[in-house]
Amino acid sequence: MRRAWVLIVSGAFESLLFLFAFGFGVGALVGDITLPGGETISYTAYVAPAILANAAMMGVLAETSINVFAKFKWMKLYDGILNTPLRPWEVALGEVWWALIRGGIYVAMFVAVMGAFGLLDSWWAILAVPACVFISLAFAGIGLTLATLFRDWPDFDLMMAFVFVMFLFGGTFTPVEAYPEFVQPIVYVMPLFHGIELVRGISLGQFGPMMLVHVAYLCALAIGGTWIAQRRLSKALYK
């Protein structure tokens, strides 16, 4: 249990290092940034919500994909669980809840640091916490599904490569409108992009019709991903 908490805290500090490196380090060089709507904010305030959304995604993906894969493939932990009254969908639900707790700890630590450095420009920013838990829920089903699809550890390199692409080009460091036009549609379908825009809009107190689109996208991802995950997990456990 102590080792699990060490992993959680170290994962949270990884996101904080991103904030200090890109938000404050690069931010000191960039200065202010003008949003597509014409509003000017500091680069640090622009990047911080994106890194927060990424932390919510990474926390839950690490727990539901890599850790579940280890329990399923190598530790054989679920073999014993099958001899209890618990059903596969209950196992999936338990893994999702623990992943949400882990992601929530990441988010809480990050938001506290944002507040300490004055990066929460609106009281609406408090809603960034449940918004990030919502993002974690959206990625939980994806992580569980991948845990049942992958066959060996090198398979996770593909997942991390895609995650890294989303982190770099999902609107984290610059507005999507600054990308070439042929790239923008690709960015718009990335799950992390919708999470970033949701948290950024809440953190800056900017609400509009597109916020509903982001919520609908993530909601569909959460419902669809969880449904597929519990079916895949049931099939894998009873194979």
103 and 56 in contact (C-beta within 8 Å)?
Answer: yes
- 141-165 pLDDT, tens digit per residue, is 888 888 888 888 888 888 989 998 9
Confidence at residue 14, expressed as pLDDT on a 0 to 100 scale: 64
Q: Check residue 10 and give its pLDDT.
A: 57
* Residue 224 vs residues 70, 95, 132, 140, 145: alpha-carbon distances, Å: 24, 17, 18, 11, 11
pLDDT score of 18 more than 70: no
Task: Determine the average pLDDT of the residues in 63-84.
Answer: 77
Within a 10 A sphere around the Cβ of 157, how many other Cβ atoms?
A: 9
Share of the chain above pLDDT 90, in %: 12
What confidence score (pLDDT) does residue 98 get?
81
Cα separation, 202 vs 197, whole angstroms: 8
* Among the ranges given (39-48, 188-197, 219-228), the one the predictor scored with the smallest mean pLDDT: 39-48
Domain ranges of the chain: 2-237
Residue 196 has pLDDT above 90, yes or no: yes
Confidence band of 89 (pLDDT split at 50, 70, 90): confident
Q: Could you give the CA distance from residue 149 to residue 98 in angstroms, rounded to a whole number?
A: 21
What gap in Å lies between CA 188 and CA 185, rounded to an integer? 5
pLDDT band at 92 (very low <50, low <70, confident <90, very high): confident
Three-state SS sequence of 13-62: HHHHHHHHHHHHHHHHHHCEEECCCCCEEEHHHHHHHHHHHHHHHHHHHH
Among 40-49, 65-74, 124-133, 211-220, which range has the highest average pLDDT? 211-220
